[in-house]
Amino acid sequence: MADRKKKPSPTQSDASSDGLDSLVPNSDEARKILSGWGSDLRIALLFLTRLPLPASFGLEIKKGAIAPAMRAFPIIGASLGIFGGLIMGLSEIFGWTPLVGALLAILAIALLTGALHEDGLADVADGFGAGTSKQTRLDIMKDTQIGSFGVVALIFSIALRVAILAGFSDVGAASAALIAAASASRAALPLIAHRLKPSRKSGLAVSAGSPDDASLYAALALGGALTLLFLGPVGGFIALIIAIATCFGVIELSRRLIGGYTGDVLGAAQQICEIAVLLAALAVL
pLDDT tens for the 285 residues of the chain, in order:
444 444 445 444 444 444 434 444 555 555 656 678 988 999 999 999 998 887 767 767 887 889 999 999 999 999 999 999 999 999 999 999 999 999 999 999 999 999 999 999 999 999 999 999 999 999 999 999 999 999 999 999 999 999 999 999 999 999 999 999 999 999 999 999 999 999 998 888 998 889 999 999 999 999 999 999 999 999 999 999 999 999 999 999 999 999 999 999 999 999 999 999 999 999 998
- The Cα–Cα gap between 258 and 199 comes to 6
First to last CA, the chain: 66
* Structural domain of 274: 66-284
Q: Is 268 domain-assigned?
A: yes
Q: Is 199 domain-assigned?
A: yes
Please tell me the total count of domains within the chain: 1
- The Cα–Cα gap between 6 and 167 comes to 66
DSSP single-letter state for residue 168: S
Q: Is 36 domain-assigned?
A: no
Q: Is 237 domain-assigned?
A: yes
Q: Is 248 domain-assigned?
A: yes
**Looking at residue 21, what is its pLDDT?**
47
**Looking at residue 91, what is its pLDDT?**
98
| CB contact at 8 A, 266 and 120 | yes
Helix H or strand E segment including 211: none
Amino acid at 52: P
Length of the chain: 285
CA dihedral of 194, 200, 205, 210, whole degrees rounded to 10: 30
Q: Is 147 domain-assigned?
A: yes
Closest listed residue to residue 282, CA positions, set 159, 157, 181: 181
Q: Is 261 domain-assigned?
A: yes
**Looking at residue 30, what is its pLDDT?**
56
